[in-house]
Amino acid sequence: MILTNDQEAIRRLVRDFANARIAPHVREWELQGGPPRSLYEEMGSIGLMGMTVDPSYGGSGLGFISYALAMEEISAVDGGISNMMSGNNSPVAAAIAAHGSAEQKERILPLLCSGKWLGSFHLTEPHTGSDASAITTRATRDGDQFILNGHKAFITGGGTSDIAMIVAVTNPEAGKSGISTFVTSTANPGYQVIGKEQKLGHRTNDLCQVQFDAMQVPDSDLLGPEGRGLAIALSNLSIGRIAVAAQAVGGARQALRLAKEYAEVRETFGKPIIEHQTISFLLAEMATKIEVARQMYLHAAALHDAEQDSAAAASMAKLFASEMAEWVASKAIQIHGGAGFLEDHLVEKIYRDVRVYQLYEGTSEIQKLVISRHLDSLEM
């Protein structure tokens, strides 16, 4: 895909920002558990926290190609920060923009888009992962409010977000049609962070277990019609999977760059190792797989921008890019040799960061399931 001048300009803007404002601090922020909140306000000031939201609500009003390109650039310097950006953009801001009331849009979107507020998405529970319809968090109507009780797990930003997008059962007798979505403040007394996970990678954001203990949520916090919550939550899956593919490409691209730079200065048998065919061919294969993955996510984003069905393309892009990223990061460590196993080199961090892309927004196995269901519509 050939990018437009505007898309190239966005990519350069985000790359320059990421290299200047994030890259120098990634080790420090990883140890601290995240960047200062002011970073997200800086990201909001250049339009990164509500990229597809209409400008009338403080967003950038851009398409999903631009959003995916920005995700690649932020992820190239830090996966955890890119994940906070991703959750804020979609599903939270995108879902409110698409399904929220006028009051919700006016009250919440400008704060999310500015980075002054951060959003978190509460779908997964300890006993449910890919089977979203099996959630048990209950929202019981009580006059003009709902009382929420339940337990959510693997919630990115669960302890640092300001607004929570919560999926809960409102009518257990109605099955999938009895699930609703709410957008409500995390300052609510019934919102309790009961655990913060220690992770392999993405250590620059918090991953939490959250409990709702008789949490009172007003009717006005219901997102969309009652009973449409699962559809609202799942409607953003293609967007999320495109973003994950872009994140994977960003991490892999950085691993390739570091491996190439190391190969140019590390010498064996009297010459830089990049001059050994074994290494140069491996770098060539890494570069090729990265470019294939990039074109796949751009194609899926283009379909979404054209309002065409992007489900299969998004799953294909995520499946290929996420597994490619782990392979590329592993080969980058191999090129570094024993040095790649040390914290002296960033390739070990990239390897830790990219592993999760095969897990969230649907595991690789779920992507294969989605693709298999579209086989009859694919050109063969």
Give the residue from 252, 251, 255, 207 showing the smallest Cα distance to 84: 207
Coil, helix or strand at residue 95: helix
Q: Please name each of the domains of the chain with its CATH number.
A: 5-117 (1.10.540.10), 121-227 (2.40.110.10), 236-377 (1.20.140.10)
* Cα–Cα distances in angstroms (integers) from residue 141 to residues 67, 170, 181, 219, 257, in the given order: 37, 8, 13, 9, 54
Give the residue from 296, 294, 86, 348 showing the smallest Cα distance to 205: 86
Q: How many CB atoms lie within 10 A of CB 42?
A: 16
**Which tokens hold the place of 368?**
């294969």
Q: How many CB atoms lie within 10 A of CB 39?
A: 18
* Strand residue runs (E) in the chain: 119-122, 138-142, 145-156, 163-169, 179-185, 191-196, 207-218, 222-223, 267-268, 271-272
Q: Is 343 a catalytic residue?
A: no
Q: How far apart are CA 136 and CA 127, in angstroms?
A: 9
Looking only at the bridges linking them, the beta strands covering 145-156 and 138-142 are: antiparallel
Q: What is the pTM of this model?
A: 0.96
* DSSP symbols for 161-201: -SEEEEEEES-GGGGGGGEEEEEEETTSTTEEEEEE---SS
Helices 79-87/37-45 angle, 10° precision: 60
Q: Residue 35: is the preceding peptide bond cis (ω within 30°)?
A: no
Task: Look up residue 344 and give its DSSP letter.
Answer: T
* Cα–Cα distances in angstroms (integers) from residue 184 to residues 84, 104, 164, 217, in the given order: 18, 10, 5, 7
**Which tokens hold the place of 277?**
């065919």
- Residue among 348, 361, 365, 379 flagged as catalytic: 361
Give the residue from 282, 294, 205 showing the smallest Cα distance to 253: 294
Q: How many CB atoms lie within 10 A of CB 221?
A: 22
Per-residue pLDDT of the chain (380 residues; tens, 9 = 90+): 899 999 999 999 999 999 999 999 999 999 999 999 999 999 999 999 999 999 999 999 999 999 999 999 999 999 999 999 999 999 999 999 999 999 999 999 999 999 999 999 999 999 887 778 899 999 999 999 999 999 999 999 999 999 999 999 999 999 999 999 999 999 999 999 999 999 999 999 999 999 999 999 999 999 999 999 999 988 888 889 999 999 999 999 999 999 999 999 999 999 999 999 999 999 999 999 999 999 999 999 999 999 999 999 999 999 999 999 999 999 999 999 999 999 999 999 999 999 999 999 999 999 999 999 999 988 87
